[in-house]
Structure 1
Amino acid sequence: MTAAVRALRGATTVDADTAEQVRARTVALLQAMLDRNGVHHDDIISVLFTATDDIHSVFPATAARDVGFGDIPLICARELDIVDATERCIRVLMHLTTERARDELRHVYLEGAAGLRDDLPE
């Protein structure tokens, strides 16, 4: 199979809106996304982060830059404020090149976000 552009999803939550926890949970999520899918740094095209309205301490992209994503286009946006949505949630949409088929990608949902997509295989 030839390489194609694909999108990989992930999400996590923080227990408290602190810069340390946002950084740590964002790094853990990104690392799990890369490890679980065999993604290498040069495979990543760009990363979009969203955060719920109750996260103000730091941009999740800052954590990504701290662990070597500084040469990758990164952007943060505000998640929709939906009634009863998962609180203190950081979501990631990573665009990458891969030879994997779309149904072979393993999206990653950690912490309080684990139940957001219970339809996905481990």
Structure 2
Amino acid sequence: MNGHKRLFGLRGACQCLNEEKDISRQVVELYDELLRRNQLPEADIVSIIFSVTDDLDAKNPAAALRQGGRAGEASLFAVQEARIRGGLERTVRILVHCYLDEDQEIAHVYRNGAEVLRPDRK
């Protein structure tokens, strides 16, 4: 480690049931795993963007994360995913903008059925 930091974008996704409880649980678990695998303190997060497929309307993932006691200082934003024929349903995607050591190997997280989106990341 050289001590210099740079801005990174960490990616991830998970599939959820269209239920408040499951969306909340899946989003918090996805976020926690991203932080754990990248040894990322919340203080180094700048912003988080979520996208949600149109079949998930029971809970906003940004609200779920905040209500889960996470990302208190980060800017959060959620958008509806573009509808693409054959796209993976019931999916929340996340993009975390954060500062990490510039030579750190980053880990993206795809879980609970979303692994099919990035088979190269297993």
TM range (shorter): over 0.9
- Aligned equivalents of 2:21, 2:39: Cα separation in 1: 27
What's the TM-score, normalizing by structure 2? 0.93
C-alpha contact (below 8 Å) 1:86/1:112 kept by paired residues: no
Instruction: Give the equivalent residue in structure 1 for 2:95.
Output: 93
- Aligned equivalents of 1:38, 1:76: Cα separation in 2: 24
What's the TM-score, normalizing by structure 1? 0.93
Identity between Structure 1 and Structure 2 (%): 32
Aligned-pair RMSD on alpha carbons?
Answer: 1.2
C-alpha contact (below 8 Å) 1:13/1:113 kept by paired residues: yes
1:68 is matched with which residue: 41, 60, 70? 70
C-alpha contact (below 8 Å) 2:18/2:56 kept by paired residues: yes
> Unmatched 5+ residue regions in structure 1?
none
Instruction: Give the equivalent residue in structure 1 for 2:40.
Output: 39
- Aligned equivalents of 1:86, 1:100: Cα separation in 2: 32
Name the SS for the 1:109 alignment partner. Answer: strand
C-alpha contact (below 8 Å) 2:10/2:95 kept by paired residues: yes
- Aligned equivalents of 1:53, 1:101: Cα separation in 2: 37
Number of aligned residues? 119
Structure 1 residue ranges (4+ consecutive) displaced by more than 6 angstroms after TM superposition: none
